[in-house]
Amino acid sequence: MNDLLPEQSGLWQQVEARLRDTLQGYGYQEIRTPIVEKTELFARSIGQATDIVEKEMYTFEDRNGDSLTLRPEGTAACVRAGIERGLLHNQMQRFWYAGPMFRHERPQKGRYRQFHQVGVEAFGMPGPDIDAELILMSARLWQRLELRGLTLELNSLGSSQARAVHRVALVEYLNQHRDQLDTDSLDRLQRNPLRVLDSKNPDVQQVVSHAPRLLDFLDTESLAHFERLQAYLKDAGLDFEINTSLVRGLDYYSRTVFEWKTDKLGAQSAVCAGGRFDGLVERLGGKAMPAAGFAIGLERLLELVSLEGIISRPAQTDVYMVLLNETAEAWGMKIAERLRNEDIAVLCHCGGGSMKSQMKKADKSGSQLALIIGEDECAKRVVGVKQLRHDAAQEFVAEPNIIEAVQQHLAAARQG
């Protein structure tokens, strides 16, 4: 679990703002649900025989003896809230959410026990048009963050009937190759055979590469859905690969599943993942209704954004007030408030100190300008204005002109 330090939070805020603006630009509205839910919610939605539910949840009893769990993901809670609050019945909804999720996984680069997701869920739309919207929207997010090199993998898991028929064929095939499976895969074969396809063990992957493909068992409706989705994406000029082993680690999916991957982060390559979960609303007690969504892992996304280095950390303030004695402090504070009235971000030096040490701090603050007030300036009712980002002689500006002078300098700086 990481601390997010001030030196990183500026970049996080910028990325979060761009994500939020883009999602809202597609008509998605924010939903905030609690961080804890009843354990049963996750067991019923994500699935008993998944890694998350079997071994990764932070589960505890509260004082009433109810079993609660820190949410490992956001989809289940969106569905629960939608059903409980009557938001889903006969309606189409587009939600987005953001926040911390918790999984007791083995930590490594890009994999943490508390991590953050921005996710979206769309309810009430059965066709591949919404699948395409979700995927195109995610592609636009990468564009807005100026990220290149993410690849899109797609698969279809078909209907539950199609999966049942495929399961029989898969189990038969895997049983014939038991000697080549590791203990984890043998266990998965027993409990949740489709998950063997997701093994990271190269020997198992070799076996899996010849296994019966779910895609060959798809029911005609799912196949038509999948083909139309592909046509939409091609029409929009979006590249993708079909990955027949893409099965996802949560059991609620049906038909479309997808992942955006990168080769820049090592083993933890999925930056964004999602798909359709048409059966989940009904399974959690609502009236049957189609749904689809995805979630982005923010730690991984931020790592990529930092690697590309395109979005720079925003300056925290525009102006740093260098105040060299008590009179200057009193006057400087008033000037700072007047600047703030004009929406200028001002950091006032507190605690005294030499000109040199204050100027060092001014430079570090990222501000464009230092306003310097010492004894002389107080006497003459002027302030020294010093550019911090390029060389220029210090000017002196009389009190009535300070705001205008600062605004002009900041506007010039913005234009570069």
**Of 9-17, 186-194, 288-296, 403-411, which part binds ligand HAM (CB under 6 A)?**
288-296
Size of the site for ligand HAM (CB under 6 A): 27
User: In this chain, which of 95, 97, 112, 258 binds ligand HAM, going by CB under 6 A?
Assistant: 112
Question: DSSP of 330-383, one letter per residue?
Answer: HHHHHHHHHHHHTT--EEE--S---HHHHHHHHHHTT-SEEEEE-HHHHHHTEE
274 lies in the site for ligand HAM, by CB under 6 A: yes
75 lies in the site for ligand HAM, by CB under 6 A: yes
Position closest to ligand HAM via CB: 297
**HSE-CB of 191 using CA atoms within 13 angstroms:** 15
293 lies in the site for ligand HAM, by CB under 6 A: yes
Full strand arrangement of the beta sheet holding 241-242: 29-30, 93-102, 114-123, 291-297, 270-276, 256-261, 151-156, 241-242
258 lies in the site for ligand HAM, by CB under 6 A: no
- Closer to ligand HAM by Cβ: residue 38 or 178: 38
d(CA 149, CA 239): 11
Neighbouring C-beta atoms of residue 19, cutoff 10 Å? 20
Measured in whole angstroms, the distance separating CA 90 from the mean position of its chain's CA atoms is: 29
Full strand arrangement of the beta sheet holding 59-61: 36-38, 67-70, 59-61
**Which residues ranging from 88 to 107 are in contact with ligand HAM (CB under 6 A)?**
103, 105
User: How, if at all, do strands 382-387 and 395-398 pair?
Assistant: antiparallel
Neighbouring C-beta atoms of residue 324, cutoff 10 Å? 21
**Of 8-16, 91-99, 178-186, 294-302, which part binds ligand HAM (CB under 6 A)?**
294-302
Structure tokens at 286: 């609502």
Q: Quick one: residue 260, left, alpha or beta (phi over 0 = left, psi -120 to 50 = alpha)?
A: beta
Site map for ligand HAM, 118-157, x if CB under 6 A? -x-x------------------------------------
- Closer to ligand HAM by Cβ: residue 78 or 347: 78
**Of 72-80, 223-231, 318-326, 353-361, which part binds ligand HAM (CB under 6 A)?**
72-80
User: In this chain, which of 53, 57, 154, 273 binds ligand HAM, going by CB under 6 A?
Assistant: 273
d(CA 81, CA 75): 10
CB distance 321 to 331 below 8 Å: no
**Of 210-218, 239-247, 290-298, 352-360, which part binds ligand HAM (CB under 6 A)?**
290-298
CB of 257 to ligand HAM, least distance (A): 8
Element housing 280 (H / E): helix 280-283
- Closer to ligand HAM by Cβ: residue 119 or 366: 119
**Of 28-36, 297-305, 307-315, 326-334, which part binds ligand HAM (CB under 6 A)?**
297-305
Indicate the DSSP class of residue 65.
S
User: In this chain, which of 47, 193, 279, 297 binds ligand HAM, going by CB under 6 A?
Assistant: 297
> Which residues of this chain interact with ligand HAM, rule CB under 6 A?
73-75, 103, 105, 110-112, 115, 117, 119, 121, 249-250, 270-275, 277, 293-295, 297, 299-300
